[in-house]
Amino acid sequence: MTPLIPRDNTFFDMFAQMSENLISGARVMVDLFADYKDVETKVSEIRRIERIGDEMTHAVLTKLNQTFITPFDREDIHALTSSLDDVLDFINSAAARIIMYRITNPPPVALDLSRIILLQAQELHRALPLLRRNGDILTHCVEINRLENEADVVSRAAIGQLFDQEKDPITLIKTKELIEILEFATDKAEDVANVLESVVLKNS
């Protein structure tokens, strides 16, 4: 039986586009730290991808305001949209610090954290389509949480080593902030996973 007012499933496609864009930003970040050349070009590309992400976020929220019946709770759609956007915002913030602070020799852990962010983004891209067909989302959420824990361990060790070895206080401050922003991006990816878990529990 067809419902009187059908649910608008466009949101699922919009989330898929947001996660694809997030993967694009994370890939450029990995490339930036893996091959630290043409830095300004790569940072500009991350900024361009982040602007696309902002436009996608605005489109979802506009759609949410225009839709009477949604595929799942409105507050969860809003939280999912905002948290996906936050991951890309922190990727962009890390890239911006590179230019702002004139970082010429980023710490090796920046590449490690960038790779973790990319892995989380790929897990999110696999998880989000499962919302449409009630698939096994939780497996992906567990992996995203595991990756966030790994990022915590890696970043704490790197900051400890930084305080032991770096003698210039200005360089120490700049490097520590870059590491922390990248780690915050992994936290935000975990926030997306937490929203997905909430949606699963509400609809199971």
Work out the pLDDT band at 8, boundaries 50, 70, 90.
low
Domain for residue 5, yes or no? Answer: no
Residue 1 lies in a domain: no
What's this model's pTM, rounded to 2 decimal places?
A: 0.93
Specify the CATH number for the domain of residue 124: 1.20.58.220
Q: Number of structural domains, the chain?
A: 1
Q: Which pLDDT tens digit goes with each residue over 150-161?
A: 999 999 999 999
Q: Which domain holds residue 80?
A: 10-202
Tokens coding 151: 């990022």
Q: Is residue 3 part of a domain?
A: no
* Residue 2 in this model has a pLDDT that exceeds 80: no
Distance in angstroms (rounded) separating the CA atoms of residues 35 and 114: 13
- The contacts of residue 18 (CB under 8 Å, 6+ apart) are 53, 56, 57, 60, 81, 84, 85
Decide if 191 is inside a domain: yes
Contact 195, 80 (CB under 8 A): yes
Q: If you ran DSSP here, which 8-state letter would residue 9 be given?
A: T
Amino acid at 140: H
Mind listing the pLDDT tens digit for each residue in 46-94?
Answer: 999 999 999 999 999 999 998 888 888 899 999 999 999 999 999 999 9
Predicted pLDDT of residue 4:
36
